[in-house]
Copies of this chain bind each other. A is one copy, B any other.
Amino acid sequence: MSLFAASNGGATAVKSHGPGRLASLYSELQSSRLDISLPLPSVLKNSFNVVDSPPSSAAGNPEEIAKLFPNLFGQLSAKLVPALPGSVSLAADKSLKIGVVLSGGQAPGGHNVISGIFDYLQERTKESKLYGFKGGPAGIMKCKYVELSTEFIYPYRNQGGFDMICSGRDKIETPEQFNQAQETAIKLDLDGIVVIGGDDSNTNASLLAEYFRAKNIKTRVIGCPKTIDGDLKCKEIPTSFGFDTACKIYAELIGNVMVDAHSTGKYYHFVRLMGRAASHITLECALQTHPNITIIGEEVAAKKQTLKNVTDYITDIICKRSELGYNYGVVLIPEGLIDFIPEVQQLIAELNEILDHGSVDEAGTWKKKLRSQSQELFELFPKAIQGQLLLERDPHGNVQVAKIETEKMLIQMVETELNKRKQVGAYKGHFSGQSHFFGYEGRCGLPTNFDANYCYALGYAAGVLLHSGKTGLISSVGNLGATVEEWTVGGTALTSLMDVERRHGKFKPVIKKAMVELEGAPFKKFASLRDEWALKNRYVSPGPIQFVGPTANDINHTLILELGAQAA
């Protein structure tokens, strides 16, 4: 038995929230994944040059972004090309000190990004050091880190989870916090930091890069696109890592539930899927499994649908199916659905306000503070949901949408509507709803071959970018529809992804979340098929993720369709 326990380094004694991994305890499958050799894009396997692309702008409001990032705005993006004969490669005898941090929620593949950075430093530089900041950005601010070694990293290779160094949701925001980050950078003599995170974390990475540049600190900052939600993407970043694995795990379960629904013939399964801001996961799972009913938040918002509209849409299909003899089915709902419904947003905003300035009394007199439309909506909700709407808020003072069991709410609302129709003879079937929430099950699975390879390349590329002195870029691996050998590698200026939002009277830079595009290829394909899926049973059961065999290297539908659309 070999224990790969964390050797805590750093100025602060680190209280780990668990021991390191015991590879000796691994399941056979976990073990079998440890030693697979990961393919690299061919450009990374040989000598390459890092070439600059033309100056960039911003996703919106370039003049404001230019003000917010005086040093970085207009940054050149970078692209790796095979080395020209006689060209100068990156100095292999250079010694780098790099820090890496995981930021935000778990996504399958994070450990491989770190492995990729580590292997790059081992293979292409000399006596470099890689520090893993523990517990997310707080680890940078508090200088809590562990020095990563071959032995330390080994048991995490191709494994799910973020537990190698763990993650956190703190942000480097205040002048004091930036100063703390600076102290750490100087103390550890860092040449660079790699921030692995979603839209917020990469915005933060960009601000940190700007800060270091402004302060004339040598530490560079490179981002990596992480989120199972799939809402951090653009032309240069075709997908965020983790989306592929998470969707396949959810789709396996949905497929199983579908076969069960079809076999049993008596249940409607309402499945809520993780993904608060955007409905990419729900859309991808629909494309993989062909459910009878799928609600896409972006469409609900675009069509300004009310909760009643959504309920009626579901109820109408259930009634039609019942006439065909089908009193069963599968319904997919995005976690953030109620966020997309204007009237619900309005109600939640009013509730936030009321709860911010006091509490609610049992007698319900507080309800008088609601506008009449909101009051009606509140009364429309089942009791259990009313309770959830009044639960304590998150640190930002918002209703915790993840705690609202939208799937149960919709079951109850549909049931009520069906009973009404039954009374007037418009529905003769029987309805029995089963609720599911698939979330945590998908964030830490063993990464698919795609995510394992993609993450390794992202990490390796981050190493290259830091080695070549770049800052304020996000690691970018493209041409993902081709074999790994043909993937392209580079870095995209983070400022080019940014727009501004007005908050508390100030402009704040933000990387806009990539929402489901109603004119995009994935949604259009879904929209062209959903009526058929609604009434005919076109269920597909993708089955469990395979690591070897004919399906082992499949990639998700969203990516294929988006790449196809780009190529066309």
Q: Could you write out 28 A-B pairs with CB less than 8 Å apart?
A: A17-B325, A17-B327, A25-B290, A25-B539, A27-B255, A27-B551, A28-B550, A29-B542, A29-B544, A29-B546, A29-B551, A30-B543, A32-B549, A161-B259, A162-B264, A163-B263, A166-B264, A166-B265, A167-B263, A249-B256, A253-B253, A256-B441, A259-B445, A260-B443, A263-B444, A267-B440, A384-B384, A544-B546
Say yes or no: is A199 at the interface (Cβ < 8 Å to chain B).
Answer: no
Query: With A and B bound together, what is the CA distance between A256 and B269 in angstroms?
Result: 22
Query: With A and B bound together, what is the CA distance between A253 and B444 in angstroms?
Result: 10
Chain B residues, Cβ within 8 Å of A444: 256-257, 259-260, 263, 541
* Chain A, range 7-38, C-beta contacts under 8 Å to B: 15-19, 22, 25-30, 32-33
Given contacts A28-B550, A549-B32, contact A543 B440 (CB under 8 A): no
Say yes or no: is A545 at the interface (Cβ < 8 Å to chain B).
Answer: yes
Chain B residues, Cβ within 8 Å of A161: 259-260, 262-263
Known: A27-B541, A27-B551, A259-B444. 7 other contacts (CB 8 A): A25-B539, A27-B542, A28-B550, A29-B551, A106-B259, A256-B445, A436-B441
A112 to chain B, nearest CB (A): 14
Chain B residues, Cβ within 8 Å of A554: 28
Say yes or no: is A446 at the interface (Cβ < 8 Å to chain B).
Answer: yes
Given contacts A162-B263, A551-B32, contact A434 B440 (CB under 8 A): yes
* Chain A, range 378-435, C-beta contacts under 8 Å to B: 384, 434
Query: With A and B bound together, what is the CA distance between A86 and B167 in angstroms?
Result: 73
Interface residue count on the A side (C-beta < 8 Å): 69
Query: With A and B bound together, what is the CA distance between A32 and B544 in angstroms?
Result: 13
Given contacts A160-B259, A163-B262, A257-B440, contact A545 B542 (CB under 8 A): no
Say yes or no: is A302 at the interface (Cβ < 8 Å to chain B).
Answer: no
Query: With A and B bound together, what is the CA distance between A549 and B249 in angstroms?
Result: 19
Query: With A and B bound together, what is the CA distance between A532 and B545 in angstroms?
Result: 31
Query: With A and B bound together, what is the CA distance between A407 and B111 in angstroms?
Result: 31
Query: With A and B bound together, what is the CA distance between A453 and B539 in angstroms?
Result: 25
Name the contact of A445 in the complex, choosing from B16, B29, B543, B545 (C-beta under 8 A).
B543
Query: With A and B bound together, what is the CA distance between A414 and B259 in angstroms?
Result: 36
Whether A546 lies near B546 (C-beta < 8 A) is yes
Whether B160 lies near A541 (C-beta < 8 A) is yes
A462 to chain B, nearest CB (A): 21
Query: With A and B bound together, what is the CA distance between A325 and B547 in angstroms?
Result: 35
Say yes or no: is A561 at the interface (Cβ < 8 Å to chain B).
Answer: no
Chain B proximity mask over A516-552: 1 for CB below 8 Å, otherwise 0: 0000000000000000000011111111111111110
Whether A551 lies near B162 (C-beta < 8 A) is no
**Which positions in A face B, CB cutoff 8 Å?**
15-19, 22, 25-30, 32-33, 106, 159-163, 166-167, 249, 252-253, 255-257, 259-260, 262-265, 267, 269, 288, 290, 325-328, 384, 434, 436, 440-446, 536-551, 554
Query: With A and B bound together, what is the CA distance between A16 and B325 in angstroms?
Result: 8
A272 to chain B, nearest CB (A): 13
A517 to chain B, nearest CB (A): 25
Please tell me how many copies of the chain the complex holds. 2
Whether B167 lies near A540 (C-beta < 8 A) is no
- Closest chain B residue, CB of each to CB of A550: B32
Whether B106 lies near A264 (C-beta < 8 A) is yes
A435 to chain B, nearest CB (A): 9
Query: With A and B bound together, what is the CA distance between A80 and B150 in angstroms?
Result: 56
Name the contact of A326 in the complex, choosing from B18, B260, B267, B537 (C-beta under 8 A).
B18
Whether A160 lies near B256 (C-beta < 8 A) is yes
Whether B326 lies near A445 (C-beta < 8 A) is no
Name the contact of A440 in the complex, choosing from B16, B260, B550 (C-beta under 8 A).
B260
Query: With A and B bound together, what is the CA distance between A28 and B25 in angstroms?
Result: 32
A241 to chain B, nearest CB (A): 15
Chain B residues, Cβ within 8 Å of A540: 25-27, 30
Query: With A and B bound together, what is the CA distance between A255 and B26 in angstroms?
Result: 11
Chain B residues, Cβ within 8 Å of A106: 259-260, 263-264
Query: With A and B bound together, what is the CA distance between A551 and B160 in angstroms?
Result: 18
Chain B residues, Cβ within 8 Å of A262: 18, 161, 163
Whether A537 lies near B249 (C-beta < 8 A) is no
Name the contact of A441 in the complex, choosing from B16, B253, B443 (C-beta under 8 A).
B253
Whether B549 lies near A547 (C-beta < 8 A) is yes
Query: With A and B bound together, what is the CA distance between A290 and B30 in angstroms?
Result: 15
Given contacts A161-B259, A263-B167, contact A544 B446 (CB under 8 A): yes
Chain B residues, Cβ within 8 Å of A327: 17
Chain B residues, Cβ within 8 Å of A326: 17-18
Given contacts A28-B550, A30-B543, A446-B541, contact A536 B260 (CB under 8 A): no
Query: With A and B bound together, what is the CA distance between A521 and B288 in angstroms?
Result: 41
Query: With A and B bound together, what is the CA distance between A257 and B439 in angstroms?
Result: 9
Whether B27 lies near A543 (C-beta < 8 A) is yes
